[in-house]
Structure 1
């Protein structure tokens, strides 16, 4: 057993500067040139190999033309021009030098032009490109990646002459696995073996991306040093792009421990990432010619493209399946069943595609399951544990106990998890489970002892044994493939669309169901606040010494009524814009009675948005009230001209002009009513208000921004408000009245109004039963019915009154928007709050219609 104190930190492998070893393999030589083509460094064997003086440093600082000859320098200058931004390498074959023919590789490292020479091998295949093209055409015909690797391995083994050629795939955990192999007789098979991630450290993988082919001709070759070792700035030359770069002593020992004297690796790059390697091993040293290496490199590049195409085709087939399944989800999605049950029915079809043994849907604490899954409490515990994972991402594990240690207890039911979040807060999930897959993983040596610090100086020593070492794996499921994780991502997008649609539908239904109640509550609260504000403003701006308490109550009551009427008009059609003409008509009708025909309105009608309607209603109310008390409407001959216009920007211009009234003087102080007229529109609507106190009559102009205005119904140029004949004369109050109202204060207020109007007997009832008793006991002339009586409505009693021929009218806190039975739909109705003027209006309407009962 290895002493724990001798265990090496394998991260030192990741930190080893394998591109800065300052040596090249001895089967070739290297020369470095400055940007002005002066020799800056070279390998110790360069002078001898290229036929120069034996002095190792004789070439330093010499011009390249002196060392290489002007003709070769000219060729090199042209080739270096072809290098893209200093990346890649250029190859020149059969370069004639004093000592023979050489193959040359040219690349740029930082500020150094690197030339690498190796003896040209006579008899190297000139048709290598044709051979590569033919084998690629052959393997491209396979429908899937299965035989692709087998045939490619056999081709490379025959073409390169290596004793063993393996296709090595990187797994998600960084380990590697041999998935295909071709070998000469007598070579040990590595097929199916797993290699620890530390066997190919991170910086080595980075170099495999940059330099896609790598030859190690002799694992016993320590390499030839480069002179000088550092440049004038103290830097070691970077040989990342070198074909001759020497090898880390650790890796050389690693190869020797495997019984490998020569090796070559070819990178397999898919979608810009290192997918795997082709690893070639030989039992004796082997220098593969540059032509052969170039052909192998070309094969690796073309093979990578073929593999990527096969993987894309496979993804496309999966995409088609996912598309069909997600289309079924969209069709099956219904808000008529619980969301969890609907989602479960939809995602269960994905179980075969994801190779899952069970699925669970977790939505707002509710759980629905199918197949092999843990218990409900365990699933909810897993959902809580998943809340610690990154939001909005599919979570995958083949070792569920790593997420939640308690999951180890039900490993036989679920050891793997693929979790798809389908909401943000609180997080809801679709969970796919896999059972435990007890299995043996065969490693190339013990993965727990990959290296020891056994070399002199504390250097890392690679593991020595590559004998198959079997590890029993428990508590894990089969691994989720990249394709399955991609499917999960697509499913998540589709599920989010369905969940959002269901959420929107549920939200819409809830909104529709509670819309009237919510509107009533919010508006009631808003209006109460407005009324309290009016009371506070009136009290603070009008002293009792200047106005009597009775007058103060009357003014406050009139303003409350104006707000109530405005509220009724805009809520009649679910908070829709309301007519300006209707607003003026209602105000004139309620407050001028027999004088309402003296208000003439000209111009096309417009609709005011709810946000503006109440403010304009108060302004019109104050204008109407002031004119009736002090202005043109206070004398028989006066009238008011109201014009409605629009400016080029569709803003509303409203002009109020009084004529024929008493002489007008500008008031010495502004009352609360004047403040409302002059400031409401600018303050609340960001509009403008101009008020002129002319002797012949008050004139006011209001500009209301277009955002508060909508087009109204077309009308004539001038339209006088209609005059109800019965409203012009004083209606006679009924002698006996029944008030059906469940609120005692409101009932007593109605009783006082009717008594003030001359009623001799007012009967109060709080329910249909009480009202029916009074009806059986004695007759009465009129009934005032509150629509809503708490747990019941007054509609049953109204039908009794209709049968008895007794007139009645409805009062409602819901305004005219209340839902009435067809039999009572035409009955007179008005909105709360009401006053004596409202009652007079109802009596006048009933007198005009000449009905003995509501029809």
Structure 2
């Protein structure tokens, strides 16, 4: 856009903090944008001709229903009604907007009084991608410690997005940052440990990162498409846009690095901008709409787990520091001379708060140890501290900001943390940190084959750092919030010691009064902290989970239930699925082969997809409750029978017996709500729950319109159904070769193979990689994706046959002509992978053997 139109001068490196990046006037060209008024008239448009054959100017002023199909309009209206808050964004997958055009993925949000619709061609991978989140979150939940969590987060984000480099940036209090974890494509230079100045991410960009958590630049060389009419003097605010074009300053920065595409996901911890997932690719790259949505969701889940991990580590650190304070109090109470022993105080304090030197000033006596100013300089510093009104712990990373002459000794003591240990005039224990010049470790020459733009070489991490490093001389590493809290605890301890040991006996009454005031103030401070903590705990306890592990486990369980339901539906091209399959799949996790404990009786009915997923959650919660508290937790039995009544409605009866005594729940949790309310609310059916002492019983009525068919074959029971038997005997304890060219799909399939008992899974994306794995000599079983991009897995299958190693095929294509005739007897698993399908294929292979 023309910056003169906004009343702003052209942007350059001297004023980029004022660049209006939220109103660029253009969008990236991989989609199109339409801005509507409240009465659904097109106000503005961009890049529409490329996708829907209508120039933006031809759409202005027209009603949207002249452009989009009626069902698309209804879908968009429904999603817009769900928007809550100024920064809310709704997404819709695979919507056919225009006849004779392929479906689009759509994002909607409000911008002022306008409704913004952003569309890009759909890839139809939303179900496949959504099933991966469960495994990704589980892997994060299994890490121990913040650094392993950061590393695993970078690895998972790269597997999800496919970018050459994924970095985790962590921001310092001054806004500068460091790459603390990364995942790389082979041959890509490492940026781990790289520092960068706060100016590399301007203030307005940081503000947008807090609002819009996800940002994609699909092609650095892209020519942005203008939002028309370009002459409009009221520019369109694209803060929440997925397609918003990029600042030319940032584009030049990326070009100078040789980057062809980038992606970023904000990491927000406790409401603060903790850092970023920053992804670089050395050629244009656009992950699908579903992959980008999953990356944003993964970033939010990662932020929650990171916050928990950081708080846990801080709690451990503060507990250790409290023990230091207790030792200090006990020792000083026995020997008052300890207070003048800087070495003793330093040893104790440095156990709690890392520093390079300690100075102690009490009753005019000075003692110092480590890297500190001279005695005269320290006394001048104490006078400056006393001149200030602050009576609490005080810290600065740059002493020279408060006392210019301190620049003379900044190499020894650039930053300080002052702990006041008396009233007026205050005595102090002061911790010093030496100057810390940032050092950047580069792997390889980042300047190779780079042509700098009009703003020169400064727009690279290397050059921007060199300029910044001149500005941070005389600065120490800042004291963190947790260290400040520990200092407050040490202050309380030292106050108590000083008040106990340094007041004259003749001033006992005054000392007692002063002590009381101080202790009351400290008690008030501590009580306020406790109340704040209780308030935070109450807020967290409002949720169902009691811990992160429980949260991950509960989420994993419910997502798995939906995933299993989707697996059953997608097996038949998203058509109706069998009720018996649903019940047997949900039961398999709890019966451990004791199928006689579940008795199912009823006609073989199929349920439509929209009702199937609802019923899957209900059955899942019933099975889970039965396993935790009911019949399946003991030696009891669950009976499920169903029939069609006179109105052709499906009546399902659930009855538990032989388990522990049942008591009605004391509160209505999420599971109970699902069981009681889902079918009446979403299907207009009925749900009746009875908490009998002998066992829970329930009756559900599913309206007949959701019953697709009653299959031939009469009554179905668990005695003549093998679906309850999920066996991985063919691969139990074995080393399995998984040949799959998609890293995301391979990750999900690996989880399922391990769930079925595989001891080790080796991944290969091509026949060449598979041959190398087989030459290792310890592969005992293989699962082959038949279609591997530009080749198929026939060579690997032939080699397996020669070696006598059993294998199964997997394919995303239907039809009987996919697999060559020579392998007609090899079982084939249809994608997406499901545990049940894999188990059935393994069972068939075992039977044939």
Within 5 Å, which residues of 2 pair with 1:176-325? Answer: 176-229=177-230, 234-325=233-324
The alignment partner of 1:350 has SS state of helix
Larger Rg: 1
Q: Are the structure 2 counterparts of residues 475 and 23 from structure 1 closer, same or farther at C-alpha, using a change threshold of 3 Å?
A: closer
Q: Are the structure 2 counterparts of residues 499 and 131 from structure 1 closer, same or farther at C-alpha, using a change threshold of 3 Å?
A: farther
Number of equivalenced pairs: 494
The aligned residue for residue 349 of structure 2 is: 350
The aligned residue for residue 129 of structure 2 is: 128
RMSD: 3.7
In structure 2, runs of 5+ residues without a counterpart are 1-9, 513-849
CA distance in 2 between partners of 1:400 and 1:20 (Å): 40
Within 5 Å, which residues of 2 pair with 1:636-785? Answer: none
The aligned residue for residue 595 of structure 1 is: none
Instruction: Report if the CA contact (8 A) 1:445-1:466 is conserved.
Output: no
The aligned residue for residue 146 of structure 1 is: 147
Instruction: Report if the CA contact (8 A) 1:215-1:264 is conserved.
Output: yes
The aligned residue for residue 79 of structure 2 is: 79
Deviation (angstroms), 1:143:
2.3
Instruction: Report if the CA contact (8 A) 1:107-1:114 is conserved.
Output: yes
Q: Are the structure 2 counterparts of residues 507 and 321 from structure 1 closer, same or farther at C-alpha, using a change threshold of 3 Å?
A: farther
Deviation (angstroms), 1:301:
0.8
Which residue among 463, 473, 483 is the counterpart of 2:458? 463
Residue 40 (structure 1) aligned with residue 39 (structure 2): no
The aligned residue for residue 121 of structure 2 is: 119
The aligned residue for residue 102 of structure 2 is: 100
Instruction: Report if the CA contact (8 A) 1:391-1:424 is conserved.
Output: no
The aligned residue for residue 20 of structure 2 is: 17
Which residue among 100, 109, 112 is the counterpart of 1:110? 112
Q: Are the structure 2 counterparts of residues 504 and 71 from structure 1 closer, same or farther at C-alpha, using a change threshold of 3 Å?
A: farther
Taking structure 1 as the reference length, what is the TM-score of the superposition?
Answer: 0.52
The aligned residue for residue 537 of structure 1 is: none
The alignment partner of 2:302 has SS state of helix
Instruction: Report if the CA contact (8 A) 1:193-1:444 is conserved.
Output: no
Deviation (angstroms), 1:210:
0.7
TM-superposition CA deviations, 1:102-125 (whole Å, max 9, x none): 000011111111110011124x36
TM-superposition CA deviations, 1:213-267 (whole Å, max 9, x none): 1100111113111112366xx4211100000101111111211111111110011
TM-superposition CA deviations, 1:49-80 (whole Å, max 9, x none): 234xx343222222222222332222222212
Instruction: Report if the CA contact (8 A) 1:195-1:444 is conserved.
Output: no
The alignment partner of 2:301 has SS state of helix
Q: Are the structure 2 counterparts of residues 158 and 134 from structure 1 closer, same or farther at C-alpha, using a change threshold of 3 Å?
A: same
Instruction: Report if the CA contact (8 A) 1:31-1:115 is conserved.
Output: yes
Instruction: Report if the CA contact (8 A) 2:190-2:443 is conserved.
Output: no
The aligned residue for residue 31 of structure 2 is: 28
CA distance in 1 between partners of 2:499 and 2:385 (Å): 21
CA distance in 2 between partners of 1:210 and 1:190 (Å): 27
Q: Are the structure 2 counterparts of residues 28 and 314 from structure 1 closer, same or farther at C-alpha, using a change threshold of 3 Å?
A: same
CA distance in 1 between partners of 2:180 and 2:385 (Å): 34
Within 5 Å, which residues of 2 pair with 1:564-583? Answer: none
Instruction: Report if the CA contact (8 A) 2:324-2:352 is conserved.
Output: no
CA distance in 2 between partners of 1:371 and 1:255 (Å): 44
Q: Are the structure 2 counterparts of residues 439 and 87 from structure 1 closer, same or farther at C-alpha, using a change threshold of 3 Å?
A: closer
Instruction: Report if the CA contact (8 A) 2:395-2:417 is conserved.
Output: yes
Within 5 Å, which residues of 2 pair with 1:477-496? Answer: 479-496=478-495
Q: Larger RCO: Structure 1 or Structure 2 (Cα < 8 Å, ≥ 6 residues apart)?
A: 2
Residue 69 (structure 1) aligned with residue 72 (structure 2): no
The aligned residue for residue 549 of structure 1 is: none
CA distance in 2 between partners of 1:251 and 1:63 (Å): 37
TM-superposition CA deviations, 1:724-772 (whole Å, max 9, x none): xxxxxxxxxxxxxxxxxxxxxxxxxxxxxxxxxxxxxxxxxxxxxxxxx
Instruction: Report if the CA contact (8 A) 1:222-1:246 is conserved.
Output: no
Instruction: Report if the CA contact (8 A) 1:357-1:434 is conserved.
Output: yes
TM-superposition CA deviations, 1:812-845 (whole Å, max 9, x none): xxxxxxxxxxxxxxxxxxxxxxxxxxxxxxxxxx
CA distance in 1 between partners of 2:510 and 2:483 (Å): 39
Q: Are the structure 2 counterparts of residues 390 and 511 from structure 1 closer, same or farther at C-alpha, using a change threshold of 3 Å?
A: closer
Q: Are the structure 2 counterparts of residues 338 and 187 from structure 1 closer, same or farther at C-alpha, using a change threshold of 3 Å?
A: closer
Instruction: Report if the CA contact (8 A) 1:328-1:346 is conserved.
Output: no
CA distance in 1 between partners of 2:322 and 2:387 (Å): 31
CA distance in 1 between partners of 2:203 and 2:234 (Å): 22
